[in-house]
Amino acid sequence: MTSTLIWIAAALFAIGLYLSWTAGRLDRLHARIDAARAALDAQLLRRASVAQELATSGVLDPAASIVLYEAAHAARQAEEEHREVAESELSQALRAIFGEAQQVEVVREAPGGDEAATELAAAVRRVPMARRFHNDAVRAARALRRHRKVRWFRLAGHAPFPMAFEMDDEPPTALADRATS
């Protein structure tokens, strides 16, 4: 009888230890999502800020300046539920303006334009990487949260189900080429 109780207690202890480890892993994944989201937000803000600064610098033609400024301003001011669309529109505006290498060359030839073009190229290159890191963390947390043991024992607590950040983040060809050279 005593040995049976010891085995039951050991099994319960092992199950509790496993559930505790799983809850800790889930907590670390949620922390990783938060850190990746903060990094993504910083890169998106940096890209919008550089684009807005470039739009007001006077190195672009007036029509391109207006389009780029409005898209960057909308991306910076967008509320969370509309942010993916606003950031996608900024990506589209950047591709429309900097789709050809000669436009990047015009910017580079202007006073202070070389630094602005280099900074914008770096910003548009980092956004897809930050988004990929965030979405990979979300994918891992979702996979763990779908397990029965996590749902049955409510190991996720009250944490919201993680959502991926889906946007058009393809950089303009001319700027992507500039970032690698």
Query: Model pTM greater than 0.85?
Result: yes
Residues 176 and 63: their CA atoms lie apart, in Å, by: 23
- DSSP-assigned letter for residue 156: T
Burial letters for 148-168: b for 16+ Cβ neighbours within 10 Å, e otherwise? Answer: eebeeeebbeeeeebeebebe
Instruction: Note down pLDDT in tens along the chain; length 181 residues.
Output: 899 999 999 999 999 999 999 999 999 999 999 999 999 999 999 999 999 999 998 888 899 999 999 999 999 999 999 999 999 999 999 999 998 888 888 888 888 888 989 999 999 999 999 999 999 999 999 999 999 999 999 998 888 999 999 999 999 988 876 554 4
Question: Max CA-CA distance within the chain?
Answer: 88
CB 18 within 8 A of CB 35: no
d(CA 155, CA 27): 9
CA-to-CA separations, 40 to 122, 125, 147, in angstroms, rounded: 14, 12, 28
